[in-house]
Amino acid sequence: MRRPLIAGNWKMYKGLEEALAFARAFAPKVAHVDARDILICPPFVAIHALAQVFAGTNVLLGGQNVHHEDQGAFTGEVSAPMLKSAGATHVIIGHSERRQLFGETDEGVNRKVHASLRSSLSPVVCVGETLSEREAGLTLEVVGKQIERGLHGLGQEGASSLAVAYEPVWAIGTGRTATPSIAQEVHAFIREVLSKILGPQAASRIRILYGGSVKPDNVDELMAEPDIDGVLVGGASLEPESFERIVKYRG
């Protein structure tokens, strides 16, 4: 019922030439994949050029961040209308690296979610606990608050284009993936929270992605879980072959 979303987050990797080389190699490999959405979130400066290569293909593009105002004197920032005009359809919001390294808060995430929706960009809102929070037994409390605050004021219309990514901070870039059952437990909880704030119907349609050391050799078991509706992939999305294998997970 929920169409899987397989998303790559390139972070601060790949200049324009490398990005274009990836796109030319990758697009034909996944041309026949249907019933799954494929999304790549490159650095801002590559979005427009990649949009030309991916035009008419089944590969979508997204930003990795967005400012909450549409325009203004905000040196160094990029707005939702700008992302949209460059060819993006999605945007990652509140990635843990932005929260940890750039001071993003749930309130800031919320403003960005509303800004994206105003421009018809689909937000992919990231949540997840740190290792010390998990060890202190606070995972569900932390994730629940991130969801409630980050999605404050979201209506039914916003809910229909939203995706949530559960990315335990201890699993990102560490090679330490959450086991499928750990991920499923948190995903099911996230769906309960979504149901509480947006209603059961909307919650049953929202895609909840898992992220954190997703690789070709663990994607199949993760995607087998009932509440894992896709993945958000960092390192393993940088090579066409490994991201192809992840897109073509066996479900």
Pick one of 211, 218, 223, 246: the residue that binds ligand PGA (CB under 6 A): 211
CA distances from 108 to 66, 125, 144, 188, 236 (A): 10, 12, 16, 25, 28
Nearest residue to ligand PGA on Cβ basis? 234
CB of 172 to ligand PGA, least distance (A): 4
Pick one of 4, 5, 6, 9: the residue that binds ligand PGA (CB under 6 A): 9
- What's the token pair of residue 11? 């972070």
Pick one of 193, 235, 246, 247: the residue that binds ligand PGA (CB under 6 A): 235
Angle (deg, nearest 10), helices 106-118 and 139-150: 40
Find the part of the chain contacting ligand PGA (CB under 6 A) among 26-34, 52-60, 184-192, 206-214: 206-214
Give catalytic status of residue 95 as yes or no: yes
Residues contacting residue 91 through CB under 8 Å, at least 6 positions apart: 41, 62, 63, 64, 65, 66, 80, 83, 112, 116, 121, 122, 123, 124
242 binds ligand PGA (CB under 6 A): no
Is residue 169 within 8 Å of 128, Cβ to Cβ?
Answer: yes
CB of 216 to ligand PGA, least distance (A): 12
CA distances from 112 to 105, 152, 218 (A): 11, 11, 32
Pick the catalytic residue from 67, 68, 90, 95.
95
Task: Show contacts with ligand PGA in window 40-69 (CB under 6 A).
Answer: none
Find the part of the chain contacting ligand PGA (CB under 6 A) among 65-73, 150-158, 185-193, 212-220: 212-220
Q: What is the C-alpha to C-alpha distance for residues 231 and 73, in angstroms, rounded to an integer?
A: 35
Pick one of 94, 168, 234, 240: the residue that binds ligand PGA (CB under 6 A): 234
Give catalytic status of residue 68 as yes or no: no
Residue numbers at the binding site for ligand PGA (CB under 6 A): 9, 167, 172-173, 211-214, 232-236
